[in-house]
Structures are given as C-alpha cells and as structure tokens.
Amino acid sequence: MASLALSWSTTSTAGLPLRLDFFIKPPDSSTHTTRTRPSTWSCKATNGGQNEKQSPQNVETSQGKLDRRNLLLGMGGLYGAAVNLVSDGSLASATPITSPDLSKCSTGTNLNTQQPLDVNCCPPVSKEIMDYTLPPVRKMRFRPAAHLAGEDYYAKFEKAVGLMKALPPEDPRNFMQQANVHCAYCNLTYQQTGDPNLKLQIHNCWHFFPWHRWYLYFFERILGKLIDDPTFGLPFWNWDNPNGMIMPEVFARKDSPLFDARRNKSHLPPALADLAYSSRSPTNPKKIIPNNLTVMYSEMVRNVSKLEDFYGAKYVVGTAPDPGPGSVERGSHMALHGWIGESTPTGEDMGNFYSTARDPIFYSHHTNVDRLWTVWRGLRGPKPKDFPDSDWLEADFLFYDENAQLVRVKVVDTLDNEKMGYVYQDVDLPWLKSRPPARVKKSKAASSSGAPAAETVFPVKLDKVVKVLVNRPKKSRSKKDKEKEEELLVIEGIEVDNAKFVKFDVFVNDEDDKPDELDKAEYAGCYSQVPHKNSTKVKTKIRLGLTELLEDLDVEDDEKILVSLVPKAGGEDIIIGGIKIIYVS
C-alpha cells in the first residue's frame, strides 16, 4: 500500500517547533522524522500522577512535552481517517500506546497494597528525544547459540558486560540503568499517555515481542560500542533444544560479570531448564525433555494459527494492563523466569518483573524468545502476515541508544530482524517433529465423566482441579471449514494478584489425570504469571487452539469436550470467570 503522510506543525509550551508526521506504510518501512530538543539528564526520582502529593521529590517536566493523543483527538477525526485503516479497509479510532513522559515515572505506592514501594526504577530524564531511524546495515551482527559459543566469544561478552557495569551510575547505559528500563516499563511505573488512571504495561499483550526486541537491540549496541565491535551479538540460550537446555556454565561462575547470586541454587548447571516449571509442582526429571518439546510444539505450532494467540491481545490507550498473553509469553518465557529466580515467594532476580533484568542471563533468555519470534514468522512463509492495525504498528517507546541519546522507536520497525542488523545462528528445531500423540483416541471422557456444564460452575476459585463440560457450537467440520476458521478454547475472566507466582495447566478429554505428563495430545496449554513488585489485581484471558488437538484425539464429532483446569501454583489466588469455544477466521 502506498504511504500516506499527515503532517502537522505547532509550537510547544517552551517555544520549540514541533512536527508530527504519521504514515501508513508497509511493515518494512523505517521512515522517521527527527525531533531534537536541548539535552540534559536528571537522575532524580519523581512521583507523578495520582501519587504526586506523596513524594516531595519531583523533576522538571521535559520541555515541549506534548500529549499526542489529545492533539489527534482535536483534529476533527482526520488522524483516524488517514492513519487507522484496519485489515478489512474500514476505519477505526486510533489510540496506539505512546511513549511515556519519563518525568512522571512513579516511585510512590504499590497499587495493590497501597504501601510505599521500596524500589525506584525510574530512568534518567532527558529533554532531548530523537525519533529513531534504523541505520544502514554494513555488517550484520551475529547472535550465536549460547551452548555453541566458544571461549573467545565469552571473553568478549564478559568484557562488554563488565564495562557496562563499570559505567557511572547516572549514565543511562550503565547495567543497572538498563535493568531499570525493563523495570519501569513492566512494573506499572508509567502512566498511559492520555489516561492518567491507567498504568503502562507492555507484558501480556501484543507489545511483548516488539518492545523486548527494541530493548535487546539497544542493549546489544551498547555492549558492541563498549568493546568497539560493531558485529557483536548477544548469545541466545537455546532452551528449546535438548542440546542447549542447561544454563551455560559461564553464567554460574562466581568470578564472571555474567554471574548473579539471586538464582535458585537447585537449577544451576547441570540442571535441565524446565519449560513447564511450577514452584509447587516439581517435574519428574525424566519428563523434562519430552515435556519441553511438547510445550514448544504447543506454543509455536498447535495454538498459534491466529496472530493474537502468538502475539497476545490488543493493547491500546484505555486498556487495562494484561489483556491477554500470547503462547510463548505465558508458557516457556514465564516458566524460565520462575525457574531461574530465587526459591522465595518473590523470586528475585529473574523471578520478579522489577528485578529480572538485573540478572545477565535475562538477556540470553530473551534473545531466545526474540529468536522464536523470527522462527515463528519464518514458519508462516516468505511473507508472513502481522497485525495491519496502526494501533500496533504506530505504537512507540523510549530507549537510550549506544550514544546515551534518548530515542523514540516504533513497533513497525521491528518486523524484520535483518533490517535491524542482526541474524541468528541456525540450529535444529526438534520440537517441530514433536506433535504429541493421544493418550486415548476416541475417548468417552466427556460423556462418562459426570462433570457439570461449564455455564453452571463459573466463576470459581482454582484451589483444586476443576473439570467441566464445554459445548461445541460446531462439530464434524470439514477440511474447508477448518481452513476457514480455527476452533479456540477461551478461558476468560482469569483474575490474579500479580504479586504472586501462579500457574495452571489445561487438558482436554484427559482420562488418566497425570498432570506431570504434558507430552500427550490431551495437553492444551497453560497460563502462568511471575510476580511484580508493584502489583495489582488483573483480569485476563487465554485462547488455546483446538482444531489439531481434536483431530489427534479423534473426537471431532463430539458435541462436548471435557476440560480440566489443573492448578500448579497459587491456585488459591486464581479465579476463573468462564470457558467457552469460539471460531475465528
């Protein structure tokens, strides 16, 4: 589609000329307009928004700060007409998440307990913001598999991280400052632009992959500049492959800059990473590898025929945090965070959102998550579809680059890792061949279980296994029907206190009740959540693909299925609002 540009100029309250340029463009476009303002840094904590009166310490508001949403709403609908053409060509109101005002970073009270927070993850404040343009790629950065990288590579990696940790504390490129970037965006620290009553959260929604891709991108470029190596790439912890499931030894060496003391001591090498980890329900060691491969198949193939089910639910201005996580985010991603973190209720460092990026292995963990995004798009063909919505493509975030310059970036520029200047080492994908077999074909579990109908049970607390019968509005679907519509199991109204680690697994027509065995077709997926320091109660949902699962169980003609919800951690803190089956084209 040809680019459409809407330009509008005004003057900020500080008398600085501003120019807003918005484009409808293909996902591979990287056109930006640069806007600069006089540069200063401030590392003072601030406590903006509803908690402002509780903190005596405030920082100066950035000059020329402009609420883009208010401007757009005052333009008589022109922005919506020009920019937000959705997939069917219709028009919709455009309210993409926009970069926060760093000077209003909150260090006040916990949203859930109303107690003062004992952590300040607010980054330095700069009055100069540049709209980032992807630089030309002259030399590709190479991201190796962590278990295949050699001594020379790790010597370089350790040197870079050591230099980052040695930077002045106020330098936004300093290791702790970089960790604070994740904390601020993920710990309910910023106000949503345009809606001061809601906090910004880039997890558990469709921004999970692009935000973390930008985060790793700049972290990697900072490391490369510190060691003067423009080709340096972060290693990915290849935990989706049995050959790479053990944490690389160098991360466990106490004299290494890659070491972190706040890890679960039982999960150091040679322990196998557990992608189905639950703090209260240990996995049989003999089942870890087969379970892991089934988890990966489920997250990357079975449950993700639709974009929302891989990326996560739509999240725009006015949306409450955690509208719905995608398959990888709620599964293997969360499991590894909990598996690595301390074996305490709060799980520092990796096991809590506020502190997770303080552990150097976070970056290798998330580099693998990013790689899986690249792999998943590759599995969908040479021109994979992504969300066409400008609410997603035009969402923007703030990061400090390798020159300590505060830059504004957009989702639209993350869709091709090679255009961002990096590639991954090729490794085998054993989970692609791990389609799980049925434990029992043509099971009569649904007709003989005596379980109640779903509509009579919910809402219910998940403090024990819950089994319900769910009606299938359509049965005996043809191949054409299946190609047209995916049958999805929706578990909605999932209420959790995100101060705690919670997890439950989902099974369909499971007769044997073996919740530690996930390598069977009856396993449908999971929901999990690691703790937050700044916590609140959220209501979310998950969607699980049924089309292939029902084929494997050979129950496509059945009018009902038996759904089992199996709490694995914190079930007493989980309420389920309902279960239903939908069909999505």
Q: Is 212 within any annotated ligand binding site?
A: yes
- 333 annotated among ligand-binding-site residues: yes
- Is 203 one of the catalytic residues? yes
Q: From the candidates 333, 365, 397, 399, which is the catalytic residue? A: 333
Question: Quick check: 539 and 495 in contact, CB under 8 A?
Answer: yes
Give the residues across from 201 on adjacent strands: none
Is residue 366 among the annotated active site residues? yes
Exposure of 490 by Cβ count < 10 A (0-12 exposed, 13-18 middle, 19+ buried)? middle
Active-site residue (options: 366, 399, 501, 507): 366
- Residue 103 DSSP label: G
* 532 among known catalytic residues: no
Asked whether the beta carbons of 485 and 504 are under 8 A apart, the reply is no
Q: In the chain, helix, strand, coil percent, each to 5?
A: 30, 20, 50
Q: How many CB atoms lie within 10 A of CB 448?
A: 10
Identify whether the C-beta of residue 298 lies closer than 8 Å to the C-beta of residue 525: yes
Amino acid identity, residue 335?
A
Active site residue 310: no
Listed in sequence order, the residues at least 6 apart from 402 whose beta carbon sits closer than 8 Å to its beta carbon are 173, 218, 221, 222, 224, 225
Q: Map tokens 């340029």 to a residue.
A: 21
Nearest C-alpha neighbor of 462 from the set 502, 514, 516, 404: 502
Q: Any catalytic annotation for residue 218?
A: no
If you count them, how many residues does the chain have?
585
Q: Please, are residues 469 and 449 in contact by the beta-carbon 8 Å criterion?
A: yes
Residue 337 assigned as binding residue: yes
- In 3D, which of 309, 254, 289 has the Cα closest to residue 490? 309
How buried is 190 (Cβ within 10 angstroms: 0-12 exposed, 13-18 middle, 19+ buried)?
Answer: buried
CA atoms within 13 A on the CB side of 563: 28
User: What span, in angstroms and rounded, lies between the C-alpha atoms of 337 and 334?
Assistant: 5
Rounded Cα–Cα distance for residues 26 and 23 (Å): 9
Report whether 182 belongs to an annotated binding site: yes
Active-site hit among 32, 267, 337, 365: 337
Catalytic residue at 267? no
Distance CA 392, CA 84 (A): 10
Instruction: Give CA separation, 206 vs 213, 307, 316, in Å.
Output: 13, 9, 10
Separation CA 552–CA 209 (nearest Å): 30
Out of 182, 207, 267, 365, the active site residue is 182
Of 353, 362, 397, 504, which is the active-site residue?
Answer: 353
Active site residue 333: yes
- Residue tagged active-site, from 212, 267, 365, 532: 212
C-alpha to C-alpha distance for 510 and 445, rounded to whole angstroms: 7
How far CA 101 is from CA of 46, 283, 297, 392, in Å, comes to: 11, 44, 40, 20
Distance CA 361, CA 370 (A): 14
Report the alpha-carbon distance of residue 17 to residue 35 in Å, rounded: 9
> What residues form the annotated binding site for Cu cation?
182, 203, 212, 333, 337, 366
Catalytically annotated residues: 182, 203, 212, 333, 337, 353, 366
Binding-site residues from annotation: 182, 203, 212, 333, 337, 366
